[in-house]
Amino acid sequence: MKRLAAFIFHFYRPVFFVNLIFSLCAIFVLLKHGIIAMPIVLILKLFGYLLCVSYQYFLAAKTYFYYRNAGLSARQMYLYIFTFDTLLFIALASIILIPYYAITHIKG
């Protein structure tokens, strides 16, 4: 468990850009339509997670033994990367949306 961050990084690296694209699309939908579009954002993020799982399952399933030998199951790794991706999405959305709404609602 000493190198958990390294294991998470190696597990998440192949799908990082795909999840980043889905996150940016979700943020664009939020910018365009506001908070009322939250169901669409959730569907986009779930589709990104589904794509991530299917990619890992079909193309990188042979690497699961590496994590099992380290004492981590594939489900644990998915839980870690989905939690990390959700926190990354919240941080990215906050960094983009708060200044955007502040600038658009400045009176004067």
**pLDDT score for 102:** 84
- Residue with the larger pLDDT of the pair 2 and 97: 97
- Residue extents of the structural domains in the chain: 2-107
Q: Is the dihedral of CA 77, 79, 81, 55 positive or negative?
A: positive
Q: Find out whether 89 and 45 touch, Cβ atoms under 8 Å.
A: yes
* pLDDT tens track for 5-51: 888 888 888 889 989 999 999 999 988 998 899 899 999 999 999 99
Q: What is the mean pLDDT of the chain?
A: 87
The residue type found at 104 is: T
pTM of the model: 0.83
Which pLDDT band holds residue 1 (cuts at 50, 70, 90)? low
**pLDDT score for 90:** 92
